[in-house]
Amino acid sequence: MNNDLNYQGSDLMLDRLPLADVAKEFGTPVYVYSASSIRRQAARLMRSLGTIGSLRYAVKANANPALLSLIFSMGFGADTVSRGEIQAALDAGCPADRIVFSGVGKTPEELAFALDQGIFINAESEEELAAIARLQTGAHVGIRINPGVDAHTHQYVTTGTEETKFGIPIDAAPDAFRLAMDAGLVPDTISTHIGSQITSLEPYRKSLARLVELRDSLMSDGIPVSALDVGGGFGITYDEGADFSVEDLQALLHRDFPQGIQLSFEPGRYLVGHAGTLVTRVLYRKRHATTFVVVDAGMNDLIRPALYRAHHAILPVTRRDSEPVLCDIVGPVCESADCFARDVHMPLPEQGDLLAICDTGAYGWSMSSTYNSRPLLPEVLVEDGEPALIREHGQ
């Protein structure tokens, strides 16, 4: 959980600022981010993986322009999966030569745009390699390899097994690299990404071992692979406990990985996940077979609990002393899946009380929608205890 989120007396504070003050000034629901949390996570990544390779922020996690500018100012490049994300990265000050374009379904127009900008492309299929070659021979490219490793995360964010749509199976990799060379491309990078919200080192160890073996085989066949894009997926804790240890991954790479290969990493959630808090207001309570607390945020604002059954801690913005009860925290959207948490043990909030849904900085606003014709939420960045509106309501 965000270390900048804590109680001062009965008031929940974010970076020394009462969240109740943010709600009063900007309304609810509202996403609130801590700049100090992002800086802290960025520094941890730079001290560890940044000492052995380059770091690119996965823009899909949260593409707010103010957050992108903050992250790029700290030395990160960008991992993008659409023309829109490429443009957002460029607009936020990321140099084109520090942007990589990934994704399983790039259009010809997107490929042409990326090549014209001088952006590196990680191809995900043989037909995509052919499409790149038709646009520009001599282009340096990466090829995303599916290493056949189960990251043991949620099935919707597992991307490294043979059953997923991503990448080229490792057994087919040699043919894909030869195809790229025959087409006039320079396939000098093995790219991979085995999943999201990974908490164990073991999937990375297995994946890297297989990719090193592939690289050695390609080199012996005269295909000069000089770089490995490890991807991201580093998990954070949404309750008690520790985040994925990037220090352990650094040690593994120091110990077991051959020297002389350029490494790159693409964290997203790890940078911004803890930084975000969704502040929402209680509208109604319904005490029948189940006690429901109806809030003004909905699944269109934060879809992770409905989509993944993801857990987010929920805290009262002002603590009450009444006896805790079991309740479900639900939104106003016309779907039974519109539930942020079931069987929460907390003092029953009063109408008008504020609740904080924690660790919503990644895949929160970026996955939101206007379902039920509900407007997109405002976003606020808190730095040194001062709030600044970084996205208007409805934009």
pLDDT, tens only, 136-161: 999 999 999 999 885 444 343 444 34
Residues carrying CATH 3.20.20.10, the chain: 35-271
* Angle, vertex CA 196, rays to CA 191 and CA 199, nearest 5: 110
- Topology of the domain covering 35-271: TIM Barrel (3.20.20)
For range 354-378, the mean pLDDT? 98
Tally of CB atoms within 10 A around 262:
14
DSSP 347: E
For range 60-72, the mean pLDDT? 98
What does the pLDDT read at residue 156?
39
For range 354-363, the mean pLDDT? 98
pLDDT at 316 over 50: yes
pLDDT at 370 over 50: yes
Half-sphere exposure of 390 (CA within 13 A, CB side): 23
CA distance 35 to 49: 21
Q: Where are the alpha helices (DSSP H) in 136-274?
A: 173-182, 202-220, 246-256, 269-272
CA distance 268 to 197: 10
Q: Where are the alpha helices (DSSP H) in the chain?
A: 19-26, 35-47, 65-73, 83-91, 108-117, 126-135, 173-182, 202-220, 246-256, 269-272, 304-308
pLDDT at 94 over 50: yes
For range 338-350, the mean pLDDT? 96
Residue 259 — pLDDT band, cuts 50, 70, 90? confident
What does the pLDDT read at residue 150?
59
3-state secondary structure of 25: helix
Reported as a single tens digit per residue, the pLDDT across 222-254 is 999 999 999 999 999 998 788 999 999 999 998
| Mean predicted lDDT score pLDDT of the chain | 94
What residues are annotated to the active site? Answer: 334
> Which of the four CATH numbers 3.30.70.260, 2.40.37.10, 3.40.50.360, 3.40.50.1820 does domain 5-29+276-360+377-391 have?
2.40.37.10
Reported as a single tens digit per residue, the pLDDT across 10-20 is 999 999 999 99
Residues carrying CATH 2.40.37.10, the chain: 5-29+276-360+377-391
Residue 30 — pLDDT band, cuts 50, 70, 90? very high
3-state secondary structure of 61: helix
Which residues partner with 295 through β-bridges? 282
Confidence (pTM): 0.94
What does the pLDDT read at residue 155?
45
Report phi then psi at 340, rounded to 5. -85, -30
What does the pLDDT read at residue 148?
82
DSSP 201: S
CA distance 307 to 90: 31
Percentage of the chain lying above the pLDDT 70 cut:
96
Reported as a single tens digit per residue, the pLDDT across 160-202 is 346 678 899 999 999 999 999 999 999 999 999 988 899 999 9
DSSP 249: H
pLDDT at 372 over 90: yes
